[in-house]
């Protein structure tokens, strides 16, 4: 039985420039004003709260989490993903932020789980996971592309 453990940031953080925050503020303000003009004040409030939350999240530094793989499954932080709840995996070494492990879950709400791989050999991970899951190549979705363009 082989197991893997490493620590990694929960996500890859990109510093946002003041221009990024100004852009978010201007777009949010325009949407709030538009919502108020059309008589939908509640939607304007939701936009204001959402953009404020977005700015707070964008400025937050990632926490370091532990990742462990063993016979039970993959544990990310405190969350265990048993192999029975996973369909497939992909070790993406060509990702522009470095190597990442992508797990395809059977759960509809969280279909893909992406984990930065730091301190673990990608070939050993691939061999370990291939004995338990099928390997697939995952295409990056539209929302992932948009979030990466926005700096997330």
Task: Say if 35 falls within a structural domain.
Answer: yes
Q: Structural domain tally of the chain?
A: 2
The tens place of each residue's pLDDT in the chain, 152 residues long, gives 578 888 888 877 888 899 999 999 999 999 999 999 999 999 999 999 999 999 998 889 888 999 999 988 999 989 899 999 999 998 887 666 678 888 888 887 778 888 888 777 888 888 889 989 998 887 766 776 777 676 66
pLDDT of residue 43: 97
**pTM value surpassing 0.75:** no
Note whether 31 and 49 are within 8 A (CB).
no
> What are the distances in angstroms from CA 152 to CA 33, 60, 61?
26, 11, 12
Question: Which structural domain range is residue 44 located in?
Answer: 18-59
Task: Say if 13 falls within a structural domain.
Answer: no
CATH number of 81's domain: 2.30.29
CA distance 71 to 108: 24
Q: Which of 138, 141, 102 is nearest to 122 (CA)?
A: 102
Which DSSP helix (H) or strand (E) runs through 58?
Answer: helix 41-59
């Amino acid at each position: 039985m082989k197991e893997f453990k490493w620590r990694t940031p929960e996500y890859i953080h990109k510093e946002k420039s003041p221009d990024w925050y100004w852009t978010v503020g201007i777009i949010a303000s325009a949407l709030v004003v538009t919502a108020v003009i059309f008589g939908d004040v509640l939607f304007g409030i939701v936009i204001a709260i959402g953009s404020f939350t977005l700015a707070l999240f964008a400025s937050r530094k990632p926490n370091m989490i532990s990742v462990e793989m063993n016979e039970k499954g993959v544990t990310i932080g405190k969350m265990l993903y048993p192999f029975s709840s996973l369909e497939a995996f992909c070790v993406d070494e060509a990702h522009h932020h470095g190597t990442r492990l992508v797990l395809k879950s059977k759960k509809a709400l969280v279909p893909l789980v992406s984990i930065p791989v730091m301190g673990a050999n990608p070939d050993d991970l691939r061999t370990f996971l291939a004995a338990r899951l099928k390997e697939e190549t995952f295409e990056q979705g539209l929302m992932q592309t948009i979030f990466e363009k926005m700096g997330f």
